Structure 1
Amino acid sequence: MVSFRSVRSLAFIAAAFYLSAANWNSIAIADETRTWSDTSGRFKLQATLIEVKGSDVYLKRTDGKTVKVPLQRLSEIDRQFLTELENPFEMVDEVPAEGQPTSPVANRSRPPRRSTGSSGWDHPPVNEWDNIKTVGVGFNNQSWNYTPPKSNRLPFEPKQAMLPKKNNFFEGMRRVEINPLAASAVAGYTWTFSTPTHQSRVSLIDLKTGRSVNSGLVTGNMSPLAVLNDGQTILMQGTGSDRDEYETGDQLQLWTIDGLEVTRSQSWIPFPDEKKSFGKTTNANVRQAIPIQDNRVLILADSGHLACFDIRTLRASWHMRLPSHHAITLTTDRKQLFVYQDHQLLHLDPSSGTVRGQLTLTEKPRLGWTKIRLNESGDRMMITFVNQLRVIDLSNGETVDDYETAGNSPLSPRGLGYPAEDFALLDNHLLVHIPSRIRVCDYKDAAVICCEGGTEFIGLLTDKGGLLVPTSMPHPKAEAVLKQAMDDPSVFLIYPGVEVSLDVSGVPEQYHASVKDNLEESIKRAGYLLKPSAAIEIKASVSGPEQEAISYIARGSYVANKFTSNVTIHANGKEVWTRSSSNIPGVLMTKRGQSIQERIDELGQGPNLSYFKSITLPNLMQKPSESPQGNLQNTLMVSKFTMQGLVDN
């Protein structure tokens, strides 16, 4: 693989100056060596101009090395110098490294056509964030109040779409994005290995008809972020590295397909100079882009900066800055936005940024790899942390189920799906039945799996063809195998009729009798048999009080005396299940005339002992066993996606 290497030695501050379209398409001059500098004046170098291409300037340093500089980060003097140059040169698709021949692969791929597009993309504005509405907790925000949509499923029946085959053994399907408002999808492909130039292409799919429009190869390294609401325009993100001379993760473009050719807009950087990296200020990379109503797109950066942009003018209407642990999701109609930040869940109007409600999770989990998804009814939310999954009832903010694995490996680093009630699709391949903790199926060999509105979309790419297939999980065979397993007690460690013992030694003595009585009721309700010498042990504990600052409507913090009630199940000396609750609820209900602090003080007088009576102990829990060969996930079955259909093992 030939790598176009350059040195990015300039760290710049964004400026609001742009060359006109007549001047910046392609300018070249090679004779004059001059001093170039950034807008801050701190970084300077002696170089000659090679070319201005798109929004980048190519310079050759006196040592012969090539530097690529974003145009908007050059000093005003340098930009003025460029505007005064005439343009006698024909625009070229690439600036090859010195001494490198033109790539025959690049010649075969059609060069992308440049479109002026809307005025915003021709001359991207500078969004002055201090002058744009900043969304924060407490902006006219009352306590949690959420009404689910009538349905969170897709409002249409999606069809299977045929996609083109691989262009090369090394080409891969990188991403599939669904737009339920436009009933459209986009699949993106890249080929970066064993090729002189990186190649990208896209397939645009009409989900109602299953028809697809497929582009030819484009020289570049880009991946789709979203299909816009017109169903024809694709928002693309650079995915190249800083060294290979292609678009990087901070840069976005608009692509449209005309025949095999792709028409591209100029590049736009939505979040310039937002991150500190190795002592330098860099642009933030884009992580998500979700179209909503009225030509607006929510864009989330890896810096935690979330903003709502008019995608035509590139003007932001509101924004918020999230902490390091965050995630966002929307209802399928894109009218309700959820933002998870640290241990708080916010409910917002995505168009205006108005905060409609806020709740704080009880028993704060260890943060990391955070993802959130709504179920197909829109009344429950699944949240994953490092090695823990929770299901939240959005009517009251209470945890209705959880799932935790041993160790510190993240549950779902690459993706999370909520395909059906009681099921989680972890890491885009592992289907888990949450109530029983059974690992039902390991879905293999899909290039991409993405979930939207209760439908899973499977992307396949082979040297014989490609597919985008809408499906449901669990599929019928998986449902049958799960039912068979649930009828077989030998599969389970925990099941109705299992013998258990009870240990309340971790509870303060004054609460022993109450906790014991309450927990015995829960054990009886679960169908367990209480026996003092049983190998499976249920342990109760209470810790606290600890003073903790909490917030409900974000008009200040309140101090609470927090007690934690905990129940664990141990087998063979190992903890296999745990559940905790606090005396301070996520959604606070006050009595008439009672202040928030008065209610918090009332709750802080002691632990929540009723929790031990109301807790739902697991009905079934899969028995740990050595994984059979070929089934490293210890699932009941393995299913492989093929061009001919799903093959079960």
Structure 2
Amino acid sequence: MSPRNVSLVVMLLLMGTAWGNGEEFRPWSDATGRFSIRARLLTVSRDLAILEREDGTKVAVEVEKLSPQDRAYLDSLMAENPFKPLQEDSAKQPEIARPSGESPAPTESNSPPPTASSGGESFQPYFLSHSGPLTVNWEIVRPISVNPGVGWQLTLPEVAPLSLQPKTIDLPPKADFFEEVTALAVNPRAGWALVKLANRRPGAQSKLERIVLCDLISGRTAIASLFEPPQTPLAIYCADTSSRRYLLFRRDEFGFGNQDTLFIHSVLPARGGVEGELDSLVSLTALTTWIPYDTKRGVGRDVKWADFPDERTLVTCSGDGRIAIWNLETMHPEASLPAGFGHLPALSPHRQWLAFATRNEVGILDLHKREVIAVQQAPQQLGFPVLAFSPSGQKLACLANRSSIYVWDVATGKLEASFPLPTGLAIQKDAFIFPHDEFLLIGNRYLFHWKSQLLVWEYEDLGPTTTLGDHVCAVVGHRSGNGIESRALVLAHVPHAAALQVLDRALNNPETFAFRKGIPVKIDVSAVPEAGREKVQEILTERLRSMDCKIEPDARVTIVAAVTGPKERRVSYIHSGDYKVKEYQLSLKIVVGNQVLWETSAGGVPFILFLRPGENVGQKLKELTSKPNYEWFKAVAMPQFLPEMPVKGTVALGRGPLPSTDL
């Protein structure tokens, strides 16, 4: 920024100048000329120009990033009348987040709000010296732009290994049948885990909730009770110079907009113990409460993800995808980035980068620089994308639409894998982790070797799961012979030995599998309506040939396609009403003799409808259900290996619990 512009910004800041309703709506553009809006100038705060569009939306832009013409326009405003009177509402200096009811310190001409000090020793989180609710002024938050011209070429920082050892930590027995483990939060620097136990007894007036705090180093645990409103743990805060831990919780009630409030709790021994060490009982005391996205409504108000990348910073993500970077010394959101609706970002292992996704892009945000350092187009539109880094930080994965997997090399941005998940897997939206550079764990259940696209293992009795370096931290359940269920927090390596063994067998001894790449097969489409048989035959022939399978009429393995229906049924869509449709059921089987090795099916009515401009729900349903959707046979994910005697109840190569000891 030129000295003249610096002087302009400082002068505007000190005077609190605001133009308000007197300013005209005019075009504004950035220095590159690629982005422009029509708006009027409201005020200039610090180095930001606050603009208002004709629809009332307020936009903040750095003065130095405006076009030369717009910066000259700001100069001219000051030249016209440097003593322009201030409007009552806009003359006030935009307030930084502070407890409600607390007034700014009296100073001459309302000097700028304090910023975080640079000295490490003087740093103290805001919530240690202030209590009560906070208010947030989003108008002075710096927007982070996503510039497609950034490209993707990164140098990866080193990832420090964690000094954690595999272990099993016993959790309290169930209070009764209705108590469930509903959440898990960890922090590798703190060495702690939080497990939430919630009792969902039908008809109960209140929901009893407990938090189990687990020291992952010593194995000690402590229990704390939670009171109204219902809350769920999101993250653990620890400072570099203190052994004390602080817990970040979110209000957790049913309905859009009811997961909007954050609480920071301190942990106090219940029986006179030492702070920072776990006793059998502890109490939680709320230090600070605030609604980060209080200007939003509905799902955009909810906090869907949050974490502390370091002792000075909190990062949050709203339900509509807005990422905010908070300065913990002032409890003020310093910068924000709009990302994809319903997306969940991922913090890198070195905790300096945040991976994010929009509907059409995937990128990396540098949390220290507050800027996007890598971005590229996604292979296709990403619906509800969930992101995860591998333990080394070298790979980035995305689960989109709960049905598709993408894996990129983080240094180059190269797409290294893209494949659909097998039809029918029960995938929880936010249960997606990267426990090993070659394996993905999806839905707290399914272990994929992404390089070969093989579903290697299905874990039994696995609850909430997350990663800690190259370990998985998971809640596991076990039912003994007398029916008593026990629970534990397990810190273990994934994949475990048995999963590696079945993968090795699949990759190096494929002849032991009844169905695999390169074997002869035959196709049976006799159960497909005559009008569609030729089309389905062509689709399956092409798919099997892509696996080097020869189509032979006397082959031992048969691929059986079938279509049943139509069957009339009534469906309902939110905000649209009920519709009567005809539903066809499509199925695909792999059979050897009379033994069905694998099968899957799908109905003809989609759960989510995407409408083109001018199209309504009734028209779309008629188009989709008037005949069988034979395109499904192109999209359904077929297994690559099937044993002669499949593992009962799963399409994975193996099935079993996560071992409680390192194998």
TM over 0.5: yes
User: How is 1:105-504 mapped onto 2 (pairs within 5 angstroms)?
Assistant: 118=128, 121-127=131-137, 129-138=138-147, 142-151=150-159, 154=162, 156-157=164-165, 159-194=167-202, 195-216=204-225, 218-230=227-239, 232-241=245-254, 248-258=258-268, 259=270, 260-275=282-297, 277=298, 284-311=301-328, 313-324=330-341, 326-362=343-379, 364-365=380-381, 367-386=382-401, 387-405=403-421, 413-460=429-476, 466-486=487-507, 487-491=509-513, 493-495=515-517, 498=519
Quote the offset at 1:217 in angstroms. Answer: 5.2
1:420-459 superposed Cα distances (whole Å, 9 cap, x missing partner): 2332212111112234333221111123222232211111
Quote the offset at 1:394 in angstroms. Answer: 2.2
> In 2, are the aligned partners of 1:119 and 1:313 still within 8 Å (CA)?
no
> In 1, are the aligned partners of 2:513 and 2:644 still within 8 Å (CA)?
no
* Whole-Å separation in 2 of the counterparts to 1:527 and 1:322: 38
* Whole-Å separation in 2 of the counterparts to 1:647 and 1:339: 33
1:323-364 superposed Cα distances (whole Å, 9 cap, x missing partner): 3253311212211221121232222211342221222234x2
* Whole-Å separation in 2 of the counterparts to 1:621 and 1:204: 42
> In 2, are the aligned partners of 1:500 and 1:528 still within 8 Å (CA)?
no
Quote the offset at 1:270 in angstroms. Answer: 0.8
Quote the offset at 1:179 in angstroms. Answer: 1.0
> In 1, are the aligned partners of 2:492 and 2:661 still within 8 Å (CA)?
no
* Whole-Å separation in 1 of the counterparts to 2:644 and 2:319: 39
Letter in 2 for 1:131: I
Moved more, 431-440 or 176-185: 431-440
* Whole-Å separation in 1 of the counterparts to 2:344 and 2:502: 34
Letter in 2 for 1:622: F
Instruction: Evaluate the alpha carbon distance shift between residue 117 and residue 413 of structure 1 in structure 2; reply closer, same or farther with a 3 A threshold.
Output: closer
* Whole-Å separation in 2 of the counterparts to 1:184 and 1:326: 26
Question: Structure 2, unaligned stretches of length 5 or more?
Answer: 1-99, 102-125, 271-281, 479-483, 523-543, 558-588, 592-597, 601-636
> In 2, are the aligned partners of 1:308 and 1:317 still within 8 Å (CA)?
yes
> In 1, are the aligned partners of 2:166 and 2:492 still within 8 Å (CA)?
no
Q: Secondary structure at the match of 1:332?
A: coil
Q: Secondary structure at the match of 1:482?
A: helix
Quote the offset at 1:121 in angstroms. Answer: 4.2
Letter in 2 for 1:190: A
Letter in 1 for 2:317: L
Instruction: Evaluate the alpha carbon distance shift between residue 426 and residue 291 of structure 1 in structure 2; reply closer, same or farther with a 3 A threshold.
Output: same
Question: Structure 1, unaligned stretches of length 5 or more?
Answer: 1-78, 81-115, 502-522, 537-569, 577-617
Using structure 1 for the length normalisation, give the TM-score: 0.57
* Whole-Å separation in 1 of the counterparts to 2:200 and 2:424: 33
Instruction: Evaluate the alpha carbon distance shift between residue 437 and residue 132 of structure 1 in structure 2; reply closer, same or farther with a 3 A threshold.
Output: closer
> In 1, are the aligned partners of 2:300 and 2:318 still within 8 Å (CA)?
no
Q: Which has the higher contact order (CA 8 A, sep 6+)?
A: 1
Quote the offset at 1:534 in angstroms. Answer: 12
> In 2, are the aligned partners of 1:492 and 1:621 still within 8 Å (CA)?
no
1:260-279 superposed Cα distances (whole Å, 9 cap, x missing partner): 3221235311111313x5xx
1:566-602 superposed Cα distances (whole Å, 9 cap, x missing partner): xxxx999x9x9xxxxxxxxxxxxxxxxxxxxxxxxxx
Quote the offset at 1:254 in angstroms. Answer: 1.6
Using structure 2 for the length normalisation, give the TM-score: 0.56
Letter in 1 for 2:254: S
Quote the offset at 1:373 in angstroms. Answer: 1.2
Q: Secondary structure at the match of 1:483?
A: helix
Aligned residue pair count: 422
> In 1, are the aligned partners of 2:312 and 2:328 still within 8 Å (CA)?
yes
* Whole-Å separation in 2 of the counterparts to 1:476 and 1:377: 20
1:539-570 superposed Cα distances (whole Å, 9 cap, x missing partner): xxxxxxxxxxxxxxxxxxxxxxxxxxxxxxx9
> In 1, are the aligned partners of 2:300 and 2:319 still within 8 Å (CA)?
no
* Whole-Å separation in 2 of the counterparts to 1:161 and 1:253: 27
Quote the offset at 1:284 in angstroms. Answer: 0.8
User: How is 1:514-593 mapped onto 2 (pairs within 5 angstroms)?
Assistant: none
> In 2, are the aligned partners of 1:373 and 1:382 still within 8 Å (CA)?
yes
Quote the offset at 1:622 in angstroms. Answer: 1.8
* Whole-Å separation in 1 of the counterparts to 2:353 and 2:172: 36
Letter in 2 for 1:144: W
* Root-mean-square deviation over aligned CA pairs: 4.2
